Structure 1
Amino acid sequence: MTSANEQLEASIGQGPAPDKAPAPLYRRVLLKISGEALMGDQDFGLDPSMVGRVAAEVKEALETGVQVCLVIGGGNIFRGVSAAASGMERTTADYMGMLATVMNALGMQSALEAIGVPTRVLSAIPMQTVCEPYIRRRAVRHMEKGRVVIFAAGTGNPFFTTDTAAALRASEMDCDAMMKGTKVDGVYDSDPVKNPAAVRFEKLSYMDVLSRDLKVMDASAITLSRDNDIPIIVFSVQEPGGLARVLRGEGRYTIVTDQT
């Protein structure tokens, strides 16, 4: 017969349970991805492998219990400011850029749903044939049901960037943080690709970013984030598992907040 101690040992297994990963620090976040980040090594358009990688990052974050929404730029397809500089009327150029963000949003939606993540695209410019119109309460409800929401078409107005749209949507969705996925692991005092001696920052204040003219986001996005007390976390979207690690306060990143 087996003893009571032997039965107890058998019931609890052969060793201690593995340590669980730390809980995420945030309840709801907005992930801002530039269109250029989705090009991969291409010169134009969407790189399916890069889109798939970002989708896998979002799924991993979602599985930790964090509610996720996204804003994706359109610079990989069309950049309104560049077109305006070439002589195109600025308002028209910006609307064309907004339509490019819808194309990227639909591509990301396809990649997410291919790996089992329910997703909704909400556009600031109504186009019911391909996506839902942006309604704040509807977007919140989608996230509460565990769906990833992708906000498309910027703010719906010309003269505003997708950075500003991201800060606006993060404020409207009552997000705890805005995550900016880039090709580098934080904010530097100069371009680290061009300058190997560039200095990386661990923490910055909103005013630091504005006064030093650091290229994190445009001034409107920084000011809107500051006014609504939304931290901006800049990290590399190129590293597998990077988003989930940053959500736990791990890995390499730069945080922009007033609490420096």
Structure 2
Amino acid sequence: MISNNKESMYKRILLKLSGEVMAGSLGRGIEEPAALYIANEVKAIKEAKKDIEIAVVIGAGNIFRGKENPHIERVKADYIGMMGTVINAMALSSALEKIGVENTVMNVFSTGRYTELYNALEGRKILKSKKVLILAGGTASPYFTTDTTASLRACELECELLIKATKVDGLYTDDPVKNKDAKFIEKTTYLEVIEKNYNVMDITAVSMCNENNIPLLICNLKKKGNVASFFKGDKIGSIVR
């Protein structure tokens, strides 16, 4: 696992979350305790490193999955998913507000007064103000995953680290949930991820991070305070450079 000796110097980060984390024990939709758990994890990161700037991209698997609705053609299904990310973003925003964390939701398409229209320049200003920036709406184009959205926004917002918070401890040679013989990978390169087809992010997201020299930390969100501990000097997760 990776210690944060120099990693703690990262000031602006993007946190990528799956939509499923919002569902909690419900499996679908949004469970309030789950949303509050995530909000508190974000707050813990801010408390661990006072000058940190945090952007968040969240998926929508708890709201809608195109693969489970084959009767809906791909482009429409992708747009439904994008709208699902707005629902999750607003729910997370409310949870953060409830625990006293200032935040702004930016969306790539207009949804009225509760979100701001995304542009990178304004997004950077929000981050500099130390508000948490929640990014919704995906890339605004079909055929792109929220992992690609996270990589794209990390580049546009000039983030120094992309953190993919998952349900496992880091990167493995195979799915550790399905394969008990899967081996943990402490650190690797983007080129190796591509060559060995490790299931980290889709190829577009991986290539974007590689080309723009943004390291990726993969770690376990289910362990309370785990992500925040990285900024306190603890060894966690896997790093890809």
Residue 12 of structure 1 corresponds to which residue in structure 2?
A: none
Would you say the 8 A contact 1:242–1:251 is kept in 2? Answer: no
Task: Structure 1 unaligned segments of length 5 or more: list them.
Answer: 1-20
Q: Match for 1:194 among 154, 172, 178?
A: 178
SS in 2 for 1:234: strand
TM-score normalized with structure 1 length: 0.86
RMSD of aligned Cα (Å):
1.7
Tell me the distance in 1 between the aligned counterparts of 2:139 and 2:219: 24
Task: Structure 2 unaligned segments of length 5 or more: list them.
Answer: none
Is 1:175 the counterpart of 2:159? The answer is yes
Deviation (angstroms), 1:213: 1.5
Is 1:134 the counterpart of 2:118? The answer is yes
What letter corresponds to residue 209 of structure 2 in structure 1? S
CA 1:80–1:247: 2 relative to 1, 3 Å:
farther
Please list, as runs of the form range in 1=range in 2, the aligned pairs for 1:1-260 lying within 5 A after superposition.
Answer: 24-63=8-47, 64=49, 65-83=51-69, 86-257=70-241
1:96-151 superposed Cα distances (whole Å, 9 cap, x missing partner): 00000000000100010111111100001121233110021111111111100000
SS in 1 for 2:55: strand
What letter corresponds to residue 213 of structure 1 in structure 2? N
Would you say the 8 A contact 1:186–1:236 is kept in 2? Answer: yes
Tell me the distance in 2 between the aligned counterparts of 1:220 and 1:73: 16
Tell me the distance in 2 between the aligned counterparts of 1:22 and 1:115: 30
What letter corresponds to residue 191 of structure 1 in structure 2? D
* Off by >4 Å, runs of 4+ in structure 1: none
Deviation (angstroms), 1:251: 3.0
Deviation (angstroms), 1:42: 2.3
User: Which stretch shows the higher mean deviation, 94-103 or 30-39?
Assistant: 30-39
Would you say the 8 A contact 1:81–1:94 is kept in 2? Answer: no
TM-score normalized with structure 2 length: 0.93
User: Which stretch shows the higher mean deviation, 98-107 or 138-147?
Assistant: 138-147
What letter corresponds to residue 226 of structure 1 in structure 2? N
Tell me the distance in 2 between the aligned counterparts of 1:249 and 1:201: 19
Larger relative contact order (C-alpha < 8 A, sep ≥ 6)? 2
Deviation (angstroms), 1:184: 0.6
Tell me the distance in 2 between the aligned counterparts of 1:188 and 1:174: 28
Deviation (angstroms), 1:82: 4.2
Higher CA-based Rg:
1
